[in-house]
């Protein structure tokens, strides 16, 4: 047995993920410890018992975890599964599982582990059948029931557990897989697309970001982020001393200002300000909060580029600065921050003002 939480993260960010879950678990008065292996793509937070792991999975809001891609309650750590009958070896732990409505057989997001994905796809079929037969899995997929996860480290070792669909990632391996639009000026466009799909509820995107709205893109060149606003019908002021993609200028929706993103001031309030500037994160955090406080924008999505060391500390330092400034200004807002799949040494932040 190995009760606790399993958290997927980007390879190389295990320590940041561990620091975060330590902090949030302590706030819930659950005191465990992390088992961390560098570059593994996951963190195992050990709790005293299964009930406390389950408590964390219910009470730590998944969207408050910056560095975790997925949050799973661990029922068992699996070791040396017999190659001739892995299914039976897994079924012996099913008594500790809730009734689940779906199954995902996954791997960590590392090059080595991803070689197992073919095995995972094939193994899902017999395992699903056996779990349905013994009553651990519903006969048909049920989106409101917990999801059963089997995370394989290799063909004989892994973790068995479950997640709550209302408080976890709906994506396989916790990864949002997006197709790069052939007419986009740069691959950075996928970062903003993932952010929009994650931070804005699906049924509200068209209401909150639609044709006729206005936007500003600070540090826009060549236009990867601008592209996402243009394709949704917004009119965009692109701020950058560098050139913009001609394809965007030809839409008639983009006005290019060759100015410094830190010095530009809009003539009137815009609906969205976006920013992917390569600057010190604390400077960007300060600028973003100023835009909101000065009523230059109603909402913003921006990236914070992280230093090589103390990344966890830097992220929370920036978020604390933003929140203290907004609260001092008496602003009501919704702030979200995630290390997205398409992010690298950076995190993405979304802030929307809430009108009382």
- The position carrying tokens 């929370």 is 316
Of 71, 72, 122, 62, the residue nearest 97 (C-alpha): 72
Cα(210)–Cα(208) distance, integer angstroms? 6
Cα(159)–Cα(204) distance, integer angstroms? 36
Is the CA virtual torsion 324, 326, 332, 333 positive or negative?
negative
- The strand ranges marked E within the chain are 4-8, 33-36, 42-46, 70-78, 102-106, 147-154, 157-163, 214-218, 235-239, 254-257, 270-275, 297-305, 333-338, 346-353
Q: Helix, strand or coil for residue 228?
A: helix
Cα(262)–Cα(260) distance, integer angstroms? 5
Catalytic residue among 15, 55, 145, 305: 305
Cα(293)–Cα(219) distance, integer angstroms? 20
Tokens of 140: 């048909």
Identify whether 144 is a catalytic site residue. no
Cα(23)–Cα(313) distance, integer angstroms? 12
For residues 307 and 313, the answer to whether their CB atoms sit within 8 Å is no
User: Which residues are part of the catalytic machinery?
Assistant: 305
């Amino acid at each position: 047995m190995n009760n606790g939480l399993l958290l997927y993260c980007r390879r190389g960010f295990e320590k940041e993920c561990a620091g975060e879950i330590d902090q949030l678990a302590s706030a819930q008065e659950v005191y465990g410890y992390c088992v961390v292996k560098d570059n593994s793509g996951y963190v195992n937070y050990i709790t005293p018992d299964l009930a406390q792991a389950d408590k964390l999975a219910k009470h730590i809001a998944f969207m408050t975890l910056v560095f975790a891609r997925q949050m799973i309650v661990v029922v068992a750590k699996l070791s040396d599964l017999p190659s001739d009958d892995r299914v039976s070896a897994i079924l012996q732990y099913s008594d500790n599982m809730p009734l689940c409505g779906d199954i995902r057989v996954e791997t960590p997001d590392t090059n080595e582990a991803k070689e197992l994905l073919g095995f995972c796809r094939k193994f899902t079929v017999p395992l699903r059948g056996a779990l349905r037969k013994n009553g651990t899995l519903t006969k048909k997929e049920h989106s409101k029931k917990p999801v059963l996860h089997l995370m394989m480290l290799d063909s004989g070792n892994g973790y068995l557990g479950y997640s709550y669909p209302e408080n976890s990632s709906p994506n396989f391996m916790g990864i949002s897989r997006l197709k790069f639009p052939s007419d986009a000026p740069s691959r950075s466009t996928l970062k903003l697309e993932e952010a929009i799909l994650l931070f804005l509820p699906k049924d509200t995107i068209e209401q909150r970001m639609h044709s006729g709205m206005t936007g500003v893109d600070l540090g826009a060149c060549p236009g990867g982020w601008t592209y996402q606003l243009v394709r949704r019908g917004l009119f965009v002021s692109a701020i950058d001393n560098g050139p913009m993609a001609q394809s965007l200028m030809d839409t008639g929706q983009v006005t290019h200002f060759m100015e410094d993103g830190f010095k530009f001031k809009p003539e009137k309030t815009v609906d969205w300000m976006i920013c992917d500037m390569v600057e010190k994160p604390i400077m960007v955090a300060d600028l973003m909060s100023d835009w909101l406080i000065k009523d230059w924008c109603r909402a913003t999505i921006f990236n914070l580029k992280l230093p090589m060391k103390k990344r966890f500390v830097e992220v929370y330092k920036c978020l604390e600065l933003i929140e203290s400034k907004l609260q001092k200004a008496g602003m009501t807002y919704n702030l979200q921050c995630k290390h997205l799949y398409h992010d690298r040494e950076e995190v993405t932040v979304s802030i929307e003002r809430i009108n009382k």
